[in-house]
Structure 1
Amino acid sequence: MKYPPPATPEGSRVRIQLHEGGTVTDVECTLVGDYGDEIAALRNDVGRQWARPQRYGIVLDDGRLVFTDVVARID
């Protein structure tokens, strides 16, 4: 599987849904990495079925690093 080129460049402000303690919140944050090519190179074979890799590295405004497959660019 080959991911399409990133429509959202690194450093862009994005919005994601953050799931914490049974609550879902939309948060604005910064995209710091797109790992689509690396994930595609694995061909979905990471040797396990749990903790699957996510495409995007995101830094929340409070400094936490999270990973997700879905981002919405803020224009």
Structure 2
Amino acid sequence: MAQPRDPDARATLRRGLPDRYLTPDDIAEIFGVPKETVYQWRKKRIGPSGFRIGKHLRYDPADVHTYVTSRKNSATAA
């Protein structure tokens, strides 16, 4: 049974990420960007780090949180 989706996925970053591995669709929804942007981030190694399980790309919520924190810290330092 599928869990209901948060109406404002970006709010997930403020409250904490889900306790499951995230898909590219989840990342795109959370950051409010097209899914193609998520794939470009991965290709350029500039977004949250992901990993493959077979042919499927997944993101660890802890890595996404670390990525967001590092981006916020670098923005504050600039």
Identify the TM-score tier after normalising by the shorter chain. Answer: under 0.3
Please report the TM-score for the alignment, with normalisation by the length of structure 1: 0.23
